[in-house]
Amino acid sequence: MDGVRKTFDEWAQNGRAELMEIEHGKNVSKFLDSITFDEPFSFLDVGCGNGWVVRKIAKQSNCKKAVGIDKSKKMIIQAEKKTDSKKEEFVHTDVESWKYKGKFDFIFSMEALYYSDSIDEALKKIFQLLRPGGQFFCGTDFYTDNKATARWKDVMKIQMHLHSKKEWKEFFKNAGFQVKTKHIKDLKSRKKWKREYGTLFVIGTKI
């Protein structure tokens, strides 16, 4: 069993899943609330944890379907327990090996892509899963420009690929995306990095 899966199985059981929801919730909500979901749409969350983003998005009146995938079986069990809408679906898989026939209008991922064996491979698959004109929103607090979080790798002791904002943009361009970035800061946070750097969102559009 790989270290990432094992770690997140443990987190699903010890309350860290809910802690992640609290830690990331503010900036993620701020970002998602800035997106206009004014047409009927389908949504995928890659690395969905306990499913909190899927539940949030499923409440949008134009949401037809919101799917969450996670390589941690225990996270998926947690997510299924909390399901509160028929629009929601959760699947135990990693994105690279997922056999899925359909396409999504929006794909989201928070603090998940850098655990992939290959970011290039994960992005290639995400690009395939999007409809033309679809968008991928990738959020991360773990990037080299943000010195305070770079040490997470030593704390976690599992595979984590650390990259700069510039490198993230290159990954997206290589996968075929048109790319832009956005920083969401929490100016009231007690943590200095959350006020100064915040969460980096890389936004890829499939043209």
Residue 73, domain CATH: 3.40.50.150
Residue 76 belongs to domain spanning: 3-205
Number of domains into which the chain is organized: 1
User: Which whole number is the average pLDDT over 34-48?
Assistant: 97
Handedness of CA 123, 135, 37, 103 (dihedral sign): negative
pLDDT at site 1:
53
Nearest 5 degrees, angle CA 174-CA 124-CA 60? Answer: 110
- Helices 16-32 & 3-14 angle (0-180, nearest 10): 100
Q: Quick one: what percent of the chain has pLDDT higher than 70?
A: 100
pLDDT at site 16:
84
What would the pLDDT profile of 57-69 be if each residue is shown by its tens digit?
999 999 999 999 9
- Range of lowest pLDDT (7-21, 24-38, 53-67, 166-180): 7-21
Residues 97, 158: Cα–Cα separation, whole Å: 20
The residue with tokens 């998926």 is 76
pTM beyond 0.75: the answer is: yes
* CA 105 remoteness from chain centre: 15
